[in-house]
Structure 1
């Protein structure tokens, strides 16, 4: 069985994902959001950054 994945993220999509991840990290780091919401925002930001980096 051969899996053939094609990239489905354009450069614009990747840029938007990086921007969103930076905003989420920034909100959590600066203390605008705190508690479990800050943790969730950091995790979502990490996943967005990974998706933008890998660009599956």
Structure 2
């Protein structure tokens, strides 16, 4: 059995993921989010950037 993954990420989706990731990072940098929420926000931001740049 072979899996063939097709990229399903358009330009608009990539832009939105970058905006979401950047917004989360700005919230953490400006200390609007702190503690465990900040850790979660940074992890989600990194995931968004990876998905936007690699587009899997």
Say whether the fold is shared (TM-score over 0.5).
yes
Matched pairs, number: 56
Give 4+ residue runs of structure 1 displaced > 4 Å after superposition.
none
Partner of 1:26: 26
Task: State the TM-score, normalizing by the size of structure 2.
Answer: 0.92
Partner of 1:6: 6
Q: Which runs of 5+ in 2 are unaligned?
A: none
Task: State the TM-score, normalizing by the size of structure 1.
Answer: 0.92
